[in-house]
Structure formats: structure tokens, C-alpha cells
A and B are shown apart, each in its own frame.
Chain A
């Protein structure tokens, strides 16, 4: 029955969006962590989405969404001159993560909106199924 598949599809989207939200939270939490080397600095992480495909008799059909990978941004770490910082290198610089706060906020809002949409889809499908169960009463 197709309507039950809607729960799987929307559920996979809820999972994917919550992973995305988690990654954003991790980025925001680490936005202020300071490191003594450019390599040691925290790198912003981003979730990569991909369509979950299913082979059917008639061809390939999508059955939800999955997280393919969580990649690290290769933007350079931000250098900051703080000679009195205990982690500062010999030149007096510390390295801040390459987290872009504005990008992360936009990502967070987008993830929460898509999450909401999918919750609505589940609610609507639930109502449709409940009315079907009560058929003939």
C-alpha cells in the first residue's frame, strides 16, 4: 500500500534533516575553538544528500533521501594575531575554524523548514489512513 510508504519516505527525510541540523550545531558549537596550527583548527562539516533509489519493474524510482557523506570544508582556517594567547605560534598567530556563521544559520533554517514540511506530510498521510480504516462505519 503506497500510503504506508509515505511514512518511510518522509521518515528518511526527517532523519536526513536532523543529521544536517546536528552537523550545523557541531559547526556552531566549534565556531570559537582556537588552535595553534592551521591543520589542527576545526573544519566546518557539511552533510551531502542523495536520493535513495529503488529498482522496480518499470525502472528506477526514488524512495526517500539519504545522507551520502559528511564532508569537511576545505576553506582556509582564519588566522588571528593574538600574541598573548597561550596557543599562539612563534609569529603570534592563532587559527580559528573556517565556519561561516551566516551560512550555518541559513542551513539551520532550511533544515528546520524542510523537517516541518515532512512532519506535515506524515500528519496528512496519517489522517488519510485513519479515514480509510474507518471506511464503512
Chain B
């Protein structure tokens, strides 16, 4: 049986990458809380992860038609998957950032990041136990 470390850790490494990317997007929103005409952005975690999980071709993937083509990193940049948030109460200066909403999303995202981290950690510990055979 062929063993792959990618499969051993499941979907969690990819989820971690996506969470860290989302942290960056949300940090941008908080940083631009006072910038006129800034539109708050976010990514749809579920749809992107579904694409990755089902190995479907996401909009961010580039087609490779030749063996010499380099497959880009899945998470290198998916600006196309960046969506705009619908403002609850738009302000006069055209800014759609609601700092409280962004802060709660940021802490939610970091909790989910740490949760994924714990899953990966558990898998690594399990593998270590198997390797050591103690």
C-alpha cells in the first residue's frame, strides 16, 4: 500500500492555507477601517474548499496542456475568489467596513485556524507513535 503524507493529514493542511489567506484579507479590512471608498472583502471558505476537496477545477487554476507547464500553487493568489461584503450600514464616505463584524470574523477565523492546527497536530502525533512503535 502506497502511503502519502498528504493523505495522512487529510484536508487540514489546505484548510490551514485558506485560513491564513482569509486572515490576511480580514486584516486588510480592519486596516482600512477609516479609508474612504474602501470596500470590505472576504472569501467564501466553503466553496473554495469544496473545489479543493473534490479536485474540481477552480476558477483560480490554470490549465496545463503540456508536460513542461508548471502547475501553480493552489493558494498563490485567488483574487477572483475574493468577494465583496454586503454592508449592513453603509457610511457616507463609501467605506463598507464594519470594524466589529471584521473583528469577530477575524477571531472566528483564528479559532478555526487553531482547530485545524490541532487536527494536524493530532495526525502528526499519531504518525510519530506509529514510527517509533513505542
Contacts and interface: CB of A to CB of B under 8 A. Distances in A.
B128 interface: yes
A9 B35 contact: no
Contacts, number: 109
Where chain A touches its partner, the secondary structure class is helix
B82 A125 contact: no
B33 interface: yes
Contact of A12 (B31, B36, B60, B103): B31
B113 A128 contact: yes
Given A59-B79, A124-B107, A136-B121, A64 B114 contact: no
Interface residues of B, number: 38
Contact of A118 (B31, B36, B117): B31
B20 interface: yes
A121 B124 contact: no
Interface in B55-112: 60, 75-80, 82, 99, 103, 106-107, 110
- Residue among B20, B41, B80 facing the most chain A CB atoms (10 A cut-off): B20
Where chain B touches its partner, the secondary structure class is helix
Contact of A58 (B35, B38, B78): B78
Contacts of A49: 32, 34-36
Interface in A91-137: 110-111, 113-114, 117-118, 120-121, 124-125, 127-128, 131-132, 135-136
A110 B34 contact: yes
A13 interface: yes
B103 to A, nearest CB: 6
B28 to A, nearest CB: 5
B30 A135 contact: no
Interface of B: 16-17, 20-21, 23-24, 27-28, 30-36, 38, 41, 60, 75-80, 82, 99, 103, 106-107, 110, 113-114, 117, 120-121, 124-125, 128
Interface of A: 1-3, 5-6, 9-10, 12-13, 16-17, 20, 49-51, 56-65, 110-111, 113-114, 117-118, 120-121, 124-125, 127-128, 131-132, 135-136
6 contacts: A2-B17, A3-B23, A12-B31, A58-B77, A111-B34, A117-B33
